[in-house]
Amino acid sequence: MNNKKTYIFLLMTIIWSWTFWFIGLNLLANGINQESIGKFLIFFFTGVYGPTISAIATTLIFDGFTGVLSLLKKIFIWNVPFKNYLYIILLPIFFIIIGIGLYNIFIGDIGSFDLMAFISIPTILGAGFYAGPLGEELGWRGFLLPELQKKYTNLKSAIIIGVIWFIWHIPLWWAPFGTLVSGESISFLTVTTYFLMLICLSIIITWLVINSKGSVLVAILFHLSINAGITLLFFPELNLDFKKVHLLSSVGMLIFTGILIARNKLKTSANNGYK
The string of pLDDT tens digits covering residues 154-175 is 999 999 999 999 999 999 999 9
pLDDT, residue 131, reads 81
pLDDT tens, position by position, 260-274: 999 999 976 445 545
- Are 161 and 206 within 8 A, CB to CB? yes
* Helix-, strand-, coil-residue percentages of the chain, each rounded to 5: 75, 0, 25
Mean pLDDT of 177-206: 96
**Band (198; pLDDT cuts 50, 70, 90):** very high
Rounded CA separation 44/48 (Å): 6
pLDDT over threshold 50, residue 122: yes
pLDDT, residue 271, reads 55
pLDDT, residue 249, reads 98
pLDDT tens, position by position, 54-96: 999 999 999 999 999 999 999 999 999 999 999 999 999 999 9
pLDDT, residue 214, reads 97
- Neighbouring CB atoms inside 10 A of 200's CB total 22
pLDDT, residue 110, reads 96
Query: Of 168, 108, 102, 113, which is closest to residue 135 (Cα–Cα)?
Result: 168
pLDDT over threshold 80, residue 120: yes
What percentage of the chain exceeds 70 in pLDDT? 97
Report how far apart, in Å, the C-alpha atoms of 250 and of each of 6, 100, 124, 158 are.
29, 11, 22, 17
- Are 43 and 20 within 8 A, CB to CB? yes
pLDDT, residue 268, reads 61
DSSP 99-161: HHHHHHHHT-------GGGGGGHHHHHHHHHTTHHHHHHIIIIIIIHHHHHTTS-HHHHHHHH
pLDDT, residue 269, reads 46
